Amino acid sequence: MGYTDLDQLAINTIRVLAVDATFKANSGHPGAPMGMAPVSHVLFNKFMNFNPQNPDWVNRDRFVLSNGHGCMLQYALLHLFGYKVSMDDLKSFRQLDSITPGHPEAHDTPGVEVTTGPLGQGFSNAVGLAIAQAHTAGVFNKPGYELINNYTYTFFGDGCAMEGIASEAASLAGHLKLGNLIAIYDDNHISIDGDTKCAFTEDVTKRFESYGWHTVWVKDGDNDLEGIEAAIKEAREVKDKPTMIRLTTTIGFGSKLQGTGGVHGNPLKADDCQQVKERFGFDPQQSFVVPQQVYDLYNKTASNGAAKEQEWNQLFEKYASEHKNEHADLARRISGKLPEGWEKSLPTYKSTDAAVASRKLSEAVLEKIHSVVPELVSGSADLTGSNNTRWKNAVDFQPPEYNIGDWSGRYLRYGVREHAMAAIMNGLAAYGTIIPAGGTFLNFVSYAAGALRLSALSRVRVIHVATHDSIGLGEDGPTHQPIETLAHFRALPNCMVWRPADGNETSAAYYSAITSKHTPSILALTRQNLPQLENSSIEGAMKGAYVALEAPNAQVTIISTGSEVSIAIEAAGYLKEKHNVAARVVSVPCFEVFDAQDKEYRLSVLPDGIPVLSVEALSTMGWERYAHEQFGLNRFGASGPYKEVYQKFEFTPEGISKRALATIDFYKGHTVRSPINRAFQQIL
Amino acid sequence: MGYTDLDQLAINTIRVLAVDATFKANSGHPGAPMGMAPVSHVLFNKFMNFNPQNPDWVNRDRFVLSNGHGCMLQYALLHLFGYKVSMDDLKSFRQLDSITPGHPEAHDTPGVEVTTGPLGQGFSNAVGLAIAQAHTAGVFNKPGYELINNYTYTFFGDGCAMEGIASEAASLAGHLKLGNLIAIYDDNHISIDGDTKCAFTEDVTKRFESYGWHTVWVKDGDNDLEGIEAAIKEAREVKDKPTMIRLTTTIGFGSKLQGTGGVHGNPLKADDCQQVKERFGFDPQQSFVVPQQVYDLYNKTASNGAAKEQEWNQLFEKYASEHKNEHADLARRISGKLPEGWEKSLPTYKSTDAAVASRKLSEAVLEKIHSVVPELVSGSADLTGSNNTRWKNAVDFQPPEYNIGDWSGRYLRYGVREHAMAAIMNGLAAYGTIIPAGGTFLNFVSYAAGALRLSALSRVRVIHVATHDSIGLGEDGPTHQPIETLAHFRALPNCMVWRPADGNETSAAYYSAITSKHTPSILALTRQNLPQLENSSIEGAMKGAYVALEAPNAQVTIISTGSEVSIAIEAAGYLKEKHNVAARVVSVPCFEVFDAQDKEYRLSVLPDGIPVLSVEALSTMGWERYAHEQFGLNRFGASGPYKEVYQKFEFTPEGISKRALATIDFYKGHTVRSPINRAFQQIL
């Protein structure tokens, strides 16, 4: 309360910076920053705890700009508060290799929590950050030690509100009663097609209420700073529900085009820029100007934040004396280190062990490691019994009043919300104290493609437990049988796709997923049983590919993954017996990891002189990378008992042998170079 | 009203058939059919207009089982009403090559309108079917001729209700005031993880009201047939809103496990099957029994439906006399034929014509053909001005009372709802009188992956206008720049991915998309300008690939798509000039179409003896199919002016030439076989 001209000057400084940066770039979105400058000013200065000198402080309040196209708002704030975002960085807005790209990227810019822009994602990340806070508090807070009590704030616009992913996340947030989550809806009635009345006339407030949210409406978000402050205060006081503040604003406030679509995604014209500056008392001839008193004001907030972190550090130190183990655990998590020796708990298998479905092997891993990796938080999009994602004594993460779990619970019931699950996991991972794993059928990871690509781009460690990974799921049929899915995610940069063939490979997949701090992983797992392979080992699988069956004077190498590896090995026996042909078999549980090995190793796995046939019961797309010839499924599958489906499509020792012989024949008399040998290196 | 024991017997017959079929298959979902048998009985017998002898009658009421796992309900109904689904077909439930697969597939089973199972899709298809009805009525109904007035009914469960795609579609349906849409929510409180209280405690009714739906609650959906009938009657009378009927049921009604998750996705145990039959007055020793009086009852409904179609046919005949053109147009659409000579309207270009962005070339096509292809209905997910999907004089499809369009409008404002847009387009296409096209950025087609795969699987003609198709979009940066997207959809069976390089190729893409009745198409289009190529023609491009630049004694073939083709041609000039190396250039706007050409043609495009280098500014995944070496982008892009981004990643004449020389060098002294030559054929 008690806002002065200085507050207004600060707000207008943000607006003018957004005008200048988009004008200079000749690209970008001035409208949202100009409309949301007032609420940003109030929120960051009156409520948020953060220390620009240490953007990683674990108990900082989190801020997510879900309408990421408005990122000049965030960059301006980061600059004013003294994060490592300079005026030159603002001048390089949307320029090559700057830290101020067209949409906020967490790994590029200090103070950006998550990568946003694709609509609905940031909102859902915020739900993940809020869950992470509640869980971390549930685990570590003790009487007298409210170590973890930060809020998560997110701004979202009409676009985010229309996206299904945000609906999913909002419904779950309401169910989970996330009192520390405050979402501020920029109700400006404008989206790219113009007035939202052409496509979006629902009652957003009523919808959020139906999810169990508390709601508040600030009718004049352009000017009513007191009203904004009161709304945020009210939201913070509601502890058993998330709050949605509907903030009615004027997009592009101050522009001649304010309130229209014209100011959404295009810089202001030169004369409009001048007009805005004059209106706000700035020199129309100057650009990128910040009055010193605005810097001073924001520095004060920043200093307060630094002091808050100091206090917190003292509390955390004191916590060590009373709660030694918890202190050590949290300190370790914050440092990013894994528990010493955790990997010794990974199960290993001998070839004489029973055949087991890899979804069950995955469950065995979780059963073994959950106690030694306490930051592991599992879950499923309503397929718990099928994904095998829940260890036996797991406790659900639920508000205690439901009597079906508590805040410290490490198992999340995401509901049938695959896209939100993936985005929430991005938020969980971004919080810094959790390694999230979440299950669905591999086919339905596609529903989450939008979030997965942000996992990869923003370099977070999330684990997708993707069961029922092929036609091997049988009767559910083509609607549920993935064909294109592995090609899709193998083509996604910085995403590890694992398709383990047995128990040791499954353990290796988890080892890789958990130790890859900056990379998401998809574990493609079977519904059907798989035998334990003779030559498999965690070490071999950890190289991404290894020789599963060596054969002197081999005429062909069969390279395969997952459930087809043991069939390929059978095929090698069949070829020997029926055709006196020697065949090697290579298992390649993970392309991305194999590609990272040195060339000598890769050539030892796929040597010159021997043609390679790939076998995988999904699209052949991409297999040419390792194989001269490809056997796969470039059509949809079929509904039936899985063994019959495999027969139908000839994924049998006979079917593979037939193609191996054709491959040998085709390359007879030709010089065969390993697919590992290439003319040039890719840009990476 | 006036339900008798015969009605109850019919309902129990459906229940017992579902029990028998899932038991025999030892697989499937008995719970939903047992719970939804009563409402099905009432709906199909008391309200729905359909003729089992002609499942294609255009004015039939549409039924969509969005909770497709409950498909034994639908198969049982189709059988009882006399569709071509025999008792043997029911006995082959979930068996290989049966017409009763694990989830309903439209192209397999007469009477199944759309392919469902992946949750939320069917609900969204139903919104599309309802839009199609309203639009077709808007175009063809005349005073005295209410030709098109069918209802669309959909059943959906808790799973569908949780999916974001259904939220998107429901919000749009509310906005559009689709009074002919009636959605019946199987409120059984059970999903796979058990009681929905673990993840789904929102107020679904209130949520639908927030979207602008009318709602009704039937509290005893197991027994209250009168209540069900009254609710549906009420829903039909509400003409200015879609209606959601919340129907509280007991999942697996009749089973010992009724009301629990145990009956959701597993067949009943043998003793429970017997118990159910005894309880419902069936012989526990017999299976697959339909009492004759049930057949008789259902036959009566079927006969009424046939009579209704007869009446309609007479009306349609009479319509011909008064509305000759409209009659001819509708009759043609129903027949599936395109207007004679429409393709003559496709624009053609000479190489001297100006450089134009392919999104603008796409707009030029729409501008030219919309008047000769009246069934074309365009739209965008809130990117109209960026996707260029709207022809100048287009009218929006909107309820007339908004004064921004009308029911006959051919432009859909989907809002920022990519997934729902794709699924709604599936429904529009399935209706039979519309060819839908919808725009978003290529990167955000990924949000719609779940629906796209059903477009492909269910073989519907939908057109995705996917602009901003690469790093060429520039400043918006990596969050918006597709990398994996083309590989993803090229790996999807029965999906045509076009990436035209100029105007003629863009026209060819539309020709292909519009004439491919059973295949969805994605048109990947640029934001940036592209020159018109020297050798391009609609005919050449229609072969999927053609030689864009021939060169005698070429040492390398450069194969490319879209915006990179003209750079590849420049590279060929550079290679000649600087290195005296002759290079051919091939443009391959569509893999799928090229693959369908005869081998002789394919080999003429990619002949033996010359190594091939592919160039595309996206993932190289899959390019090995045509190219010995691949130049692409297996990392995320960058935010900046697009020419600088192209420079950074070396998609320049120099960058391509460098790699072409490396390719030539690498293959020197080696026999080079065309990638078209393969050892064996794929299973298709």
What CATH number should be reported for the domain holding residue B643? Answer: 3.40.50.920
The reply to whether B429 and B473 lie within a common domain is yes
The reply to whether B563 and B611 lie within a common domain is yes
Does the residue A155 lie in any domain? yes
Separation between Cα atoms, residue B379 and residue B518, nearest integer Å: 20
Q: Among A488, A508, A530, identify where a domain stops.
A: A530
Secondary structure (DSSP) of B603-659: HHHS-TTS-EEEE-SS--TTGGGT-SEEE---S----S-HHHHHHHTT-SHHHHHHH
Structure tokens at B532: 């018109």
**Nearest C-alpha of chain A: how many angstroms from B573?**
21
Tell me, what amino acid is at A615? Answer: V
- Mean pLDDT (whole number) for B479-498: 98
Q: Indicate which residues of A carry an active-site annotation.
A: 418
Residue A206: its pLDDT value, please?
A: 98
Residues B416, A158: C-beta atoms closer than 8 Å: yes
Average pLDDT along chain A: 97
**Nearest C-alpha of chain B: how many angstroms from A308?**
34
Does the residue A470 lie in any domain? yes
Task: Given the cut 0.95, state whether the ipTM is greater than it.
Answer: yes
Q: Among A247, A280, A307, identify where a domain stops.
A: A307
- pLDDT band of residue B683 (cuts 50, 70, 90) is confident
The reply to whether B612 and B495 lie within a common domain is no
Q: Give the CATH number for residue B381.
A: 3.40.50.970
Name every chain A residue with its beta carbon within 8 A of the beta carbon of B684: 634-635
Residue A2: its pLDDT value, please?
A: 87
Q: Among A264, A281, A307, identify where a domain stops.
A: A307
The reply to whether A368 and A278 lie within a common domain is no
Separation between Cα atoms, residue A267 and residue A21, nearest integer Å: 9
Read off the pLDDT of residues B38-70 as tens digits, 9 standing for 90 and up: 999 999 999 999 999 999 999 999 999 999 999
The reply to whether A512 and A626 lie within a common domain is no
Residue A337: its pLDDT value, please?
A: 98
The reply to whether B365 and B264 lie within a common domain is no
Instruction: Report the residue from B191, B635, B650 with minimal CB separation from A684.
Output: B635
B624 labelled catalytic: no
Between strands A583-587 and A546-549, the pairing is antiparallel
Separation between Cα atoms, residue A542 and residue A589, nearest integer Å: 9
Name every chain B residue with its beta carbon within 8 A of the beta carbon of A683: 633-635, 649-650
The reply to whether A237 and A293 lie within a common domain is yes
Q: Is A86 annotated as a binding residue?
A: no
Q: Is A190 annotated as a binding residue?
A: yes
Read off the pLDDT of residues A55-72 as tens digits, 9 standing for 90 and up: 999 999 999 999 999 999
Read off the pLDDT of residues B213-237 as tens digits, 9 standing for 90 and up: 999 999 999 999 999 999 999 999 9
Phi-psi region of B336 (alpha: psi -120 to 50; beta: other; left: phi over 0): left
- Mean pLDDT (whole number) for A39-54: 98
CA distances from A592 to A214, A444, B606, B662 (A): 45, 22, 30, 24
Give the DSSP letter of residue A147: -
**Half-sphere exposure in the Cβ direction for B684 (13 Å, CA):** 9
Search chain B and give the residue with CA nearest A411. B198
In sequence order, the β-bridge partners of residue A44 are none
Residues A163, B164: C-beta atoms closer than 8 Å: yes
Does the residue A652 lie in any domain? yes
**Nearest C-alpha of chain B: how many angstroms from A202?**
5
* Residues B449 and B421: beta-carbon distance below 8 Å: no
Separation between Cα atoms, residue B134 and residue B149, nearest integer Å: 8
Q: Is A359 annotated as a binding residue?
A: yes
SS (H, E, C) B396-459: EECCHHHCCCECCCCEEECCCCHHHHHHHHHHHHHHCCCEEEEEEEHHHHHHHHHHHHHHHHHC
Separation between Cα atoms, residue B572 and residue B583, nearest integer Å: 5
Q: Sign of the CA dihedral B283, B288, B293, B294?
A: positive
The reply to whether A74 and A209 lie within a common domain is yes
Q: Is B159 annotated as a binding residue?
A: yes
**Residue count of chain B:** 684
Residues A162, B416: C-beta atoms closer than 8 Å: yes
The reply to whether B134 and B37 lie within a common domain is yes
Separation between Cα atoms, residue B389 and residue B365, nearest integer Å: 10
Q: Within the 644-673 window of chain B, which residues sit less than 8 Å (CB to CB) from chain A? A: 644-645, 648-650, 658-659, 662-663, 665-667, 670-671, 673
Residues A457, B450: C-beta atoms closer than 8 Å: no
Q: Which residues in A198-236 are b (16+ Cβ under 10 Å) and which e?
A: bbbbbbbbebbbbbbbbbbebeebbebbebbbebbeebe
- Mean pLDDT (whole number) for B268-285: 97
B27 at A interface, C-beta within 8 A:
yes
Search chain A and give the residue with CA nearest B191. A382
Residues B119, A416: C-beta atoms closer than 8 Å: yes
B684 at A interface, C-beta within 8 A:
yes
Read off the pLDDT of residues B168-213 as tens digits, 9 standing for 90 and up: 999 999 999 999 999 999 999 999 999 999 999 999 999 999 999 9
A398 at B interface, C-beta within 8 A:
yes
The reply to whether A139 and A245 lie within a common domain is yes
Residues B201, A164: C-beta atoms closer than 8 Å: no
Residues B94, A667: C-beta atoms closer than 8 Å: no
How many structural domains comprise chain A? 3
Does the residue B536 lie in any domain? no
Chain centroid to CA B76: how far?
A: 25
Q: Is A245 annotated as a binding residue?
A: no
* Residues B542 and B589: beta-carbon distance below 8 Å: no
Residues B164, A159: C-beta atoms closer than 8 Å: no
* Residues B622 and B637: beta-carbon distance below 8 Å: no
Residue B684: its pLDDT value, please?
A: 80
Q: Is A439 annotated as a binding residue?
A: no
Read off the pLDDT of residues A323-372 as tens digits, 9 standing for 90 and up: 999 999 999 999 999 999 999 999 999 999 999 999 999 999 999 999 99
Residue A95: its pLDDT value, please?
A: 98
The reply to whether B402 and B514 lie within a common domain is yes
Residues B683, A634: C-beta atoms closer than 8 Å: yes
Closest CA to A27 of B213, B217, B450, B476: B476
Among candidate residues B418, B564, B592, B616, the one labeled active-site is B418
B24, B64, B240, B382: best mutation site toward chain A, by most A Cβ within 10 Å? B382
B207 at A interface, C-beta within 8 A:
yes
- pLDDT band of residue B2 (cuts 50, 70, 90) is confident
Would the pLDDT of A1 be above 70?
Answer: no
B527 at A interface, C-beta within 8 A:
no
Read off the pLDDT of residues A217-248 as tens digits, 9 standing for 90 and up: 999 999 999 999 999 999 999 999 999 999 99
* Residues A297 and A10: beta-carbon distance below 8 Å: yes
B415 at A interface, C-beta within 8 A:
yes
A608 at B interface, C-beta within 8 A:
no
* Residues B480 and A117: beta-carbon distance below 8 Å: yes
Q: Is B488 annotated as a binding residue?
A: no
The reply to whether A298 and A376 lie within a common domain is no
Does the residue A10 lie in any domain? yes
Does the residue A326 lie in any domain? no
Phi-psi region of B477 (alpha: psi -120 to 50; beta: other; left: phi over 0): left
Q: Within the 366-395 window of chain A, which residues sit less than 8 Å (CB to CB) from chain B? A: 380, 382-386
Q: Is B461 annotated as a binding residue?
A: no
Does the residue B17 lie in any domain? yes
Residue B1: its pLDDT value, please?
A: 66
Search chain A and give the residue with CA nearest B619. A491
Does the residue B314 lie in any domain? no
> Which domain range does residue B116 map to?
5-307
Structure tokens at B547: 């030689």
Residue A683: its pLDDT value, please?
A: 83
Closest CA to A150 of A135, A171, A160: A135
Search chain B and give the residue with CA nearest A651. B683
Beta strands in B278-363 (DSSP E): 356-357
Closest CA to B391 of B432, B439, B430: B439
Residues A443, B118: C-beta atoms closer than 8 Å: yes
Residues B629, A678: C-beta atoms closer than 8 Å: yes
